[in-house]
Amino acid sequence: MSQQLSLFDPDRPPQSSEVTSPDSRTATNSLAQIVAIKDPALDSVKLTANAPISAALSMWMESRRRAGLSENTIKNYRIDIQLLAEYAGAGASVGEFTTQTLNDYLEWMRHKRRVPCSSKTLDRRITSLKSFFRWLTPAAALSVNPAEAVVNVSVRSPLPVVLTELEVSQAQHAARQLLQGKKKADMRPHILLTFLLHTGLRKGETARLVTNHLALENPKHPHLYVRYADKRHRHKERKVELDPQWVRDYRKYAQHYQISERVFPWSVRLLEYRLEDITVAAGLKKHISFEMLRWTCALRDFRDGLESEKLRRKLGLSKVQWGEMRRKIRRLME
């Protein structure tokens, strides 16, 4: 790995601590690299620029746990920075990293590592880099934050396709027409469209939603609970408010289709066909999808002033995922 980074020069002149015995050298370096001074502002042991990235990563992980991040988010952070350590060498000191080093690393990961790296994974890893060095710069008293000028994630991946307000109105009108059709009335497009525009649920969450996860007793504050059977996804569980008008329409829909267990008791493909029915009826060039409606919901809520943390929880996102999504939403609003 040292050949990949020119600044990690194996021929550099030895320092005074390097000409002593191995045992004393290790002890001296450990004391020099990590200074055990409590900083109330950081609430962590203070590092120095000579600390190895592996030591800094361990301390960052602990700080993230104290900050209350989910285990899934912490796991992703650890994997992403461990990959950087693998590239540079675990013994590389944090003070040796520059913006050019990090850009070279990202280039290696994209084109030279010989392991596929999707745009979504790349976005996450750049976000992890920025978060790590944002914490590390004051913690290790670095003169500059080398990750600050790294190319922004939003530049590297395309923006999602969303519906404009005009297109939302056209889609809603088309769904009502399908609902009121004289020959072949279909309530499903209207119920599905209005549900997704208001809740922003994922495709799988919508397909798995069951009736006992709906709380409709209070007509002024109806809501639903998103549940996951797999404990690895428990951090996505949440309570989401429902539109009272949707609840009134849902009661008619439930009676008509004799809904007893799943709220949408059809295959995902058939539900996608119902969204496509709206696209065709509205004459839209964009093809309405679950993902498009989720992003449209997020954009509308953000633009309407919903508190950032509340929106993150509504969408079932980790703080890292929300950071990526929020940046793209802001670009969509430009």
Q: Could you tell me the residue ranges of all domains in the chain?
A: 2-156, 165-332
Cα–Cα dist 241/253, whole Å: 19
* Ranges 33-42, 47-56, 162-171, 270-279: which has the least confidence: 33-42
pLDDT band at 150 (very low <50, low <70, confident <90, very high): confident
Give the range among 53-67, 118-132, 147-161, 210-224 with minimum mean pLDDT.
147-161
Q: What is the pLDDT of residue 21?
A: 41
Give residues with Cβ within 8 angstroms of 322, minimum separation 6.
Answer: 308, 311, 312, 315
* pLDDT recorded at residue 265: 97
> Of the ranges 16-20, 74-78, 135-139, 303-307, which one carries the lowest mean pLDDT score?
16-20
For the CA atoms of 320, 323, 328, 332, the dihedral, rounded to the nearest 10 degrees, stands at: 150
Token look-up 């890893």 returns 125
- Bridge partner list, 262: 210
Architecture of domain 165-332: Orthogonal Bundle (1.10)
Least confident of 59-73, 139-153, 215-229: 139-153
Residue 23 has pLDDT above 80, yes or no: no
The more confidently predicted of residues 30 and 60 is 60
Report CA-CA distances (Å) from 46 to 33, 36, 69, 81, 261: 9, 6, 21, 19, 55
0.75 exceeded by the pTM?
no
Q: Could you please report the per-residue DSSP string of 68-96?
A: T--HHHHHHHHHHHHHHHHHH-TT-BGGG
Number of C-alpha atoms within 13 angstroms, CB side, residue 134?
A: 10
Q: What is the mean pLDDT of the chain?
A: 85
**Phi and psi for 282 in degrees, rounded to 5?**
-85, -15
Provide the terminal-to-terminal Cα distance of the chain, rounded to the nearest Å. 41
Residue with tokens 């919903």: 306
pLDDT at residue 37 in the model:
38
On whether the 2-156 domain is CATH 3.40.109.10, my answer is no
Q: How confident is the model over 308-319, as a mean pLDDT?
A: 94
Report yes or no: 246 and 253 within 8 Å, Cβ to Cβ: no
Q: Write out the DSSP string of 122-138.
A: HHHHHHHHHHHHHHHHH
Per-residue pLDDT reduced to its tens digit, 7-22: 344 344 334 334 344 4
What is the model's pLDDT at position 317? 92
Q: Average pLDDT for residues 196-221, to the nearest whole number?
A: 96
At residue 45, the pLDDT reads 52
Share of the chain above pLDDT 90, in %: 60
Q: How many CA atoms lie within 13 A of 132 on its CB side?
A: 32
